[in-house]
Structure 1
């Protein structure tokens, strides 16, 4: 069950109060997508993963955190126009602006995941910018700083980003010799390779991988 409540929060940039949604609880009832996008009901909470100040336009997952971002940055052409990208959805714009803030703050992990979330909303809106945003996320991959324990998840995400953005040859080349050592992750990579060889950019879930291995 998903529970959302609204509370007044102060923007860390302009200092003004606004009512913002806060997620109290949720759950996921099925397998995630191969880029780890959660299933429902958690899937439908994405609209509150990043908050937006209605006064100055600052966006963040949490207004309680301090920031070095200034109002001048929020008024910049890059921020206001999302680098000239004409997104269909308002949420896509919000996630892209969160990426720009993370980039300004030199937070590579937040850059990466805000772009992925932006691509997810583009998918939901049938926005062709989804491919462009996934390619931008791929460019961020080499800058990521993550623990070895997280490697399997990041590789799974990268494989899906490559396939869904049409980088089929690159996916096959980079992942053909990768072995993670956990059956489900190795099955996911082999599934991605097989779909790449068929030039398939569709969305698949971990459940689809499990079904394919059962058929074999």
Structure 2
């Protein structure tokens, strides 16, 4: 199974090498591959994808060496492009980049700073904090991993309060809150959140059954998700 993470791209002319353009400054970006293909090994209970190749997390964020804008995907023009340009041009923001090769964690920290200044939606913060918890998991820093899982939970909850979400999105948020609560050892909160999922949707019935077993066993570790559990159904398309 291959996960297509194609995040390019504008071709200057047919037959030429793809060129990635920064939507903020318009300069060509030289640190972002035009096409990335990964062979999936397995998916964990918090939907972290493990591959047989390099860790996807290391390239989930990319930045422009010219204006220092950070994004997950250079194809998309930010909604608040004027505010983005203003933020990335400030001395405070630019001083964060002490060199042109930040670590993955540093890049995430810079990204959070940018999100805070742009007052990004709660879901964007939640997904970012989730990925930062993975970085700390990889470093075997349990305290910081727990902290960032909790920050993700708080922002997933804020997203629920914002409203305007589909039933699928609401159930997925409740699943994430259940999963991250379980990982932090709060099995009661995990169970309460799990019970709020819409199990009439087959995918969430499978996720419910999978997660409930982990909660009942008081398992607070990352678990490999069986392939059939996270398969999407026609009604989710």
Give the TM-score taking structure 2 as reference length.
Answer: 0.66
CA–CA distance in structure 1, aligned partners of residues 214 and 228 of structure 2: 9
Question: 1:29 touches 1:40 (CA, 8 Å); kept in 2?
Answer: yes
Q: Work out whether 1:140 is the aligned partner of 2:155.
A: yes
Partner of 1:126: 140
Sort the Cα spacing of 1:193 and 1:179 in 2 relative to 1 into closer, same or farther, 3 A: farther
Question: 1:23 touches 1:48 (CA, 8 Å); kept in 2?
Answer: no
Displacement of 1:139 after TM fit? 0.7
Alignment of 1:24-63 (within 5 A): 24-41=35-52, 44-63=55-74
Question: 2:174 touches 2:193 (CA, 8 Å); kept in 1?
Answer: no
Alignment of 1:1-40 (within 5 A): 9-13=20-24, 17-22=28-33, 24-40=35-51
Unaligned runs of 5+ in 1: 82-88, 211-216
1:13-64 Cα distance to aligned partner (Å, 9 max, x none): 5665441223524245344111111231477222222112335543111334
CA–CA distance in structure 2, aligned partners of residues 176 and 134 of structure 1: 20
Q: Work out whether 1:76 is the aligned partner of 2:92.
A: yes
Question: 2:3 touches 2:37 (CA, 8 Å); kept in 1?
Answer: yes
CA–CA distance in structure 2, aligned partners of residues 2 and 201 of structure 1: 27
Displacement of 1:151 after TM fit? 3.3
More helix by share: 1
Q: Work out whether 1:171 is the aligned partner of 2:171.
A: no
CA RMSD in angstroms, aligned pairs only = 3.6
1:61-98 Cα distance to aligned partner (Å, 9 max, x none): 13342432245566438x949xxxxxxx9212322432
CA–CA distance in structure 2, aligned partners of residues 40 and 121 of structure 1: 16
Question: 1:37 touches 1:43 (CA, 8 Å); kept in 2?
Answer: no
Sort the Cα spacing of 1:191 and 1:28 in 2 relative to 1 into closer, same or farther, 3 A: farther
Helix, strand or coil at the partner of 1:106: coil
Displacement of 1:7 after TM fit? 6.4
Q: Work out whether 1:194 is the aligned partner of 2:211.
A: no
Give the TM-score taking structure 1 as reference length.
Answer: 0.71
